[in-house]
Amino acid sequence: MPRLLYADKKGRIFEEPELEAAAMKAGRIFRIDPSELIELPKGSQLFVLPERQAIGYYGSTDDRMISSGRFAVAAFLAPGYTATYSPAYIDDREAKILPLFSYCAAVSYKGKIYVTAIRVDSDKRHNSQFISITSVKRNAKNFKKIFPGNRLIGHLETCALTYGCPNAQNFFLSRYECPLPTAPVCNASCAGCISYQSAKDICATQPRIKFVPKPAEIAGIALYHIGKVKNAIVSFGQGCEGEPLTQAGVVEEAIHLIKGRTHKGIINLNTNGSRPDKLERLIDAGLDSVRISLNSARVIYYTKYYRPVRYNFADVVSSIKTAKKKRVFVSLNYLTMPGFTDLKDEYGALRKLVSKTGVDMIQWRNLNYDPIRYFKLLKVRPVEDEMIGIKQEMELLKKEFPKLRMGYFNPFLPTL
């Protein structure tokens, strides 16, 4: 039987042997079937949730007990894992919104910490266990000598060493995916944007780049990375920027410079897909793959979360169709929240979107947002019967679309 984990005021974590663990979706409390648990993945972190009392079940009755004075505990999962439940808690009336991270239910089971999660990608590219910060620091110094005056090196050094961005760290380790941030602004205003927040009660976790790099600065580091790394990916659209399509001219020129020198590597764009016309130009310039982010396949919930300016959900769908028509590999960056993503109606809208656009892959990334406030923001209060389960949703999609890839990272595509 999974047991409740809780934290005291000092942040020390304990098991409560008297209480069975519970989990939460959309503010509703559930018992956890042990088949839904996996051991806490290496590289994950545990959070104490202040102003939130842990909840468990007492005995076999359906009575839920608030573990008064004991704070809920959550896991921030290592990349490659998708949460299927949020942690169970009751928040104090005055509780402040949680910081912009994702929160997965964590329990005590068989003497260890387990979580309600699914492994969706076996790639280790963001696993902090395999990243040597000493080497990142040393290489950052060397890169400054190799690229004198290239402002992106200083920006990426801050990303790697101050904000712990794994893509930036991997760039300095010459492996995997090289970030190419370009855009200081965005044409959306996502409630959970990690690079810019105007609200006073919530703070961006990775501030945006403050300048627009020159195409030559971008191409310089992209070509270096492609030259050094087997199966290299270079990616526009990072956590430390706004929307790269707002700088489409610069991105287009940079792609021409890169493709003019090599046909190796994959040039990828992570985007909100707001401007199909500009995306088409980038594809014509040589873009190989695109990842389009959305929290929902339904216009009403997309709009409530993204708060788009001078574009709409139809443009996002049009971008997906444009990219597919041009035979580019398309992933959805599907920002997942247990209790919303697995709603029957949401699943229905997603399967329709997959069916009518032919997207190649879904990346099941955990949405970094307070798991109770999210439902208030979207103004939804689903009941248990409406939730089919994230794992079941993935299985249904796999069955209906056998070629649809599931994962977490942008893949290298040797066939392109």
Provide the binding-site residues for ligand SF4, judged by CB under 6 A: 186, 188-190, 193, 195, 242-243, 272
* 6 versus 364: smaller Cβ distance to ligand SF4: 364
CB of 195 to ligand SF4, least distance (A): 5
Cα angle, residue 100 at apex, residues 276 and 39 outer, rounded to 5°: 105
How far is 157 from 143, CA to CA, in rounded Å?
10
What number of CA atoms fall less than 13 Å from residue 127's CA on the CB side?
12
Question: Of 13, 16, 14, 12, which Cα lies nearest the Cα of 3?
Answer: 16
CB of 203 to ligand SF4, least distance (A): 14
* 54 versus 250: smaller Cβ distance to ligand SF4: 250
* 150 versus 289: smaller Cβ distance to ligand SF4: 289
Residue type, 170: N
CB of 285 to ligand SF4, least distance (A): 22
Question: Of 193, 176, 164, 195, which Cα lies nearest the Cα of 43?
Answer: 164
Question: Of 242, 235, 138, which Cα lies nearest the Cα of 184?
Answer: 242
* 215 versus 239: smaller Cβ distance to ligand SF4: 239
* 193 versus 353: smaller Cβ distance to ligand SF4: 193
Helix (H, G, I), strand (E, B) or coil at 64: strand
Q: Which residues make beta-bridge pairs with 179?
A: 235
* 2 versus 207: smaller Cβ distance to ligand SF4: 207
CB of 307 to ligand SF4, least distance (A): 8
Rg (CA), the chain: 22
CB of 275 to ligand SF4, least distance (A): 12
* 133 versus 185: smaller Cβ distance to ligand SF4: 185
CB of 368 to ligand SF4, least distance (A): 9
Helix (H, G, I), strand (E, B) or coil at 374: helix
CB of 249 to ligand SF4, least distance (A): 18
Q: Can you tell me which residue has the tokens 């949703």?
A: 393
How far is 242 from 207, CA to CA, in rounded Å?
10
CB burial readout 304-343, b (16+ within 10 A) else e: bbbebeebebebbbbbbbbbbeeebbbbbbbbbbbbbbbb
